[in-house]
């Protein structure tokens, strides 16, 4: 499967470069590729600082954690795409690095993460292991005993819940 994805990537990059070279010329396509990479490197530095500032703002309670994490994921993905050689990946990386397009992509990423997280958490079964204070591991269910005294009964009776 990775070989197929790599082949699709190569075909898409070559087709994009050939199309741009056909419309604008080979020299212009090469200059565009270099300009996209240079702009991406500059944007990565600035947006990386912005993401770190967003994490600081989350710590102060000024911003929601979901927004900061989504921005961080989009900036990291954009940086990776800018560093991968090719015109198509550079343009996609630039789109992920620009704040206006990140604002458009953030809800899509959040919905995907919520759906995927629900799938992963739904497949994990609860592990009922208790570790006592002395370090003893007790594997089983938690049982709570509640004393319920009957009217006129001095001893009471134990009701077990759990």
**pLDDT score recorded for residue 26:** 94
| Pairing verdict, β 157-161 and 144-148 | antiparallel
Question: What pTM value is reported for the model?
Answer: 0.68
Element (H, E) at 84: none
Q: Kindly provide the b/e burial profile for residues 6-37, where b requires at least 16 CB atoms within 10 angstroms of the residue's own CB.
A: eeeeeeebeebbeebbeeeeeeebeebbeebb
**pLDDT score recorded for residue 137:** 60
**pLDDT score recorded for residue 124:** 58
Indicate the SS3 state at residue 26.
Answer: helix
Please state, in angstroms and as integers, the Cα–Cα distance from residue 43 to each residue in 28, 71, 79, following that order.
Answer: 22, 13, 9
CA distance 95 to 89: 10
**pLDDT score recorded for residue 88:** 93
Q: Would you give per-residue pLDDT tens digits along the chain (162 residues)?
A: 889 999 999 999 999 999 999 999 999 999 999 999 899 989 998 999 999 999 999 989 888 888 889 999 999 999 999 999 899 999 999 999 999 999 999 988 888 888 887 777 666 555 666 666 666 665 665 565 555 566 665 555 555 554
């Amino acid at each position: 499967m990775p070989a197929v994805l790599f082949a699709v990537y190569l075909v898409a990059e070559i087709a994009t470069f050939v199309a741009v070279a056909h419309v604008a010329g080979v020299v212009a396509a090469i200059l565009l590729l270099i300009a996209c990479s240079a702009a991406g490197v500059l944007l990565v530095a600035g947006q990386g600082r912005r993401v770190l500032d967003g994490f600081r703002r989350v710590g102060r309670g000024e911003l929601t954690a979901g927004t900061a994490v989504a921005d961080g994921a989009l900036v990291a993905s954009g940086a990776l795409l800018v560093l991968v050689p090719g015109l198509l990946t550079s343009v996609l990386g630039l789109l992920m690095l620009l704040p206006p397009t990140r604002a458009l992509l953030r809800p899509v990423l959040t919905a995907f993460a919520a759906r995927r997280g629900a799938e992963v958490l739904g497949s994990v079964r609860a592990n009922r292991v208790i570790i006592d204070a002395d370090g003893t591991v007790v594997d089983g269910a938690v049982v709570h005993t509640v004393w319920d005294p009957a009217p006129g009964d001095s001893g009471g009776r134990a009701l077990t819940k759990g």
